[in-house]
Amino acid sequence: MIVSVSGCGPSRPEMVPTSGTVTIDGKAPLEPGTLYFHPIETAKGLPARPATATFDTSGRYTVKSFEEGDGLIPGRYKVSAECWEVPPNMAGRPVKSRIAGRFNSAVSSGLEEVVIESGSADRQIDFELSSR
């Protein structure tokens, strides 16, 4: 007996597609990097879910919460980032970041708090990082 279940399963919460550009010292990044979106508060009745976005050497990114490009659940987020010239490694080589260490923590990054309103259209958010 074969049972086919199509379209069943948990539905996703409301999502707002979010993308933008990252610059470092006013220029495109020399290496790819990652943005981390840490939920502070979500819209009423929606789950808290962290999200990530990988930016390329042009600085372009698109946020992923569940699947590539789906965006953010409405709410408020703090943002952290990393961009490594020499990433953390098991070989014991010294690491070297392209951005100041404060950006590695949502608490100290100083990046603008991101607010995604319920019912919003696509959001474009640009981030300026610095090497110092």
Res 125 pLDDT > 80:
yes
- CB 80 within 8 Å of CB 34: no
- Give the CATH number for residue 41: 2.60.40
Residue 44 lies in a domain: yes
Q: Is the pLDDT of residue 3 over 80?
A: no
Mean pLDDT along residues 9-24: 90
Contact 123, 69 (CB under 8 A): no
Quote the percentage of the chain above a pLDDT of 90: 86
Quickly state the pLDDT bin for 12 (edges 50, 70, 90).
Answer: confident
pTM for this model (two decimals): 0.89
> Which of the pair, 11 or 125, is modelled with greater confidence?
125
At 115 the pLDDT is 96
Q: Kindly state whether residue 62 falls inside one of the protein's structural domains.
A: yes
**Where is average pLDDT lowest: 36-40, 95-99, 119-123?**
119-123
User: Does residue 4 fall inside a structural domain?
Assistant: no
Say if 111 falls within a structural domain. Answer: yes
What local confidence, expressed as pLDDT, does residue 8 receive? Answer: 53
Residue 23, burial from CB neighbour count under 10 angstroms (0-12, 13-18, 19+): middle
Residue 106 in any domain: the answer is yes
Q: Could you give the number of structural domains in the chain?
A: 1
Give, in order, the Cα–Cα distances in Å from 9 to each of 1, 12, 67, 68, 87: 21, 9, 16, 19, 38
Whether 8 is covered by a domain: the verdict is no
- Flag whether 76 is in a domain: yes
Residue 1 lies in a domain: no
What was the pLDDT predicted at 2? 53
Residue 94 pLDDT grade (very low, low, confident, very high; cuts 50, 70, 90): very high
Token pair for residue 44? 């009423």
Domain span including residue 91:
18-129
Output the average pLDDT for the chain: 92
